[in-house]
Structure 1
Amino acid sequence: MTELSQQTSGINGIESSVAIFGGTFDPVHNGHLRSAIEIKEALGVDELRLMPSHRPPLRGEPGAESRQRLAMVSAAIRDEFGIRVDDRELLRDGPSYTVDTLRDLRAELGAAVSLTVVMGSDAYNKLHRWQDWRSLFGLANVLLLHRADYPLAADSSVNEFVSARRVLSARALTAMSAGGFFELGLIQLPISATDIRQRLASGRSIRYLVPDVVADYIAEHGLYT
């Protein structure tokens, strides 16, 4: 049996649903948090996990340490029902490969849980360069978020691969253990972690761009200055 056939065998007996929203969160900001709420509502999942990455293979080193980014995310979502932080990628010494994370999660959750990984169009455009990217769909569903600043420009091999895996709605993904694909447009707040870091480096305010608890943590630890 392939990974896909193994995982989709539980389609008619889904017990619960989990979505993974990963990123460097360097720092986590109100745009991330608003998107997290909209993703959870669109999918209708039981649980959404924000997953800070340790060392993203296709990005530069984060400006804050892993433990600091984890602390900021944890503080930001402390009172959000159904949203939690998952620190498993921060516990690895090497690069954070999504396929390894999903294999770990699938082994932990079992086949009767709908698992969906969320990625933005910036990540999707590089998907053909990801480690063992085709195996992602044997382990989880994929929800693609459109980002206005990153128009879709995926490799033809990716477009061809996902064409037969498209479903009609975001909620349809939660009826599947794995293997589905859906594109979702969100009303995303135009907030950038890069811009926040630049503001901090030049001594400008980041008030209302990040939760107060995150701003306090940044100030207390002198991050990004």
Structure 2
Amino acid sequence: MSSIETKQQQVEATLRLAPVVPVVIIDDARAAVPMARALVAGGIPAIEVTLRTPAALDAIRAIAAEVEGAVVGVGTVLTPRDLEHARQAGAKFAVSPGVSPKLLAAADDSDLPLLPGVATASEAMSLLERGYRHLKFFPAVPAGGHKLLGAWASPLPQIRFCPTGGISLTSAPEFLSLPNVVCVGGSWLTPVDKLKSGDWAGIEALAREAAALKAR
């Protein structure tokens, strides 16, 4: 079994843990552990912490070390350096909004599984040639939504997607009903106001709503 195939199996196992992977932008690393515990308690174990704030890597370290049942990943991975820092912080998977030759080369050499982002069929085909069968569809709603993604199911039956970008609790079922969707990514589970106020019960409630959604 090739290294890429092993890592793709790891990605698939992570994506199948729940119908939604929360996409988290965290400004205060001290909020990471209670937030992650609330998500796990609500039935959402896979958590993508994006590299969009200085607190992100500290948040990943804390979740990886302290939250039982959490599978923490890193999002907004743009460079080989991002990938390596995420691995050192304890991330179990990485997510990128797109791909570059340098990032793909680094992913080939890294033990950290990558979920690369695509917005076109050509991008998806290029990654399929490299052995990627699980991809992020981003930005899902602006790029064409569930209708575009559903149109890819027949010509690209080998690929399964995690659409992310503009998806809400209301629109998630449209994506989850598609045969080529494993789960969706969404930021609605960890809204800024609840993170700032420490409303962990509110985040757990949002997680329970998301966990009750069904993927096909």
TM-score normalised to structure 1 length: 0.40
Highest relative contact order (Cα 8 Å, sep 6+), 1 or 2?
1
Bigger Cα Rg: 1
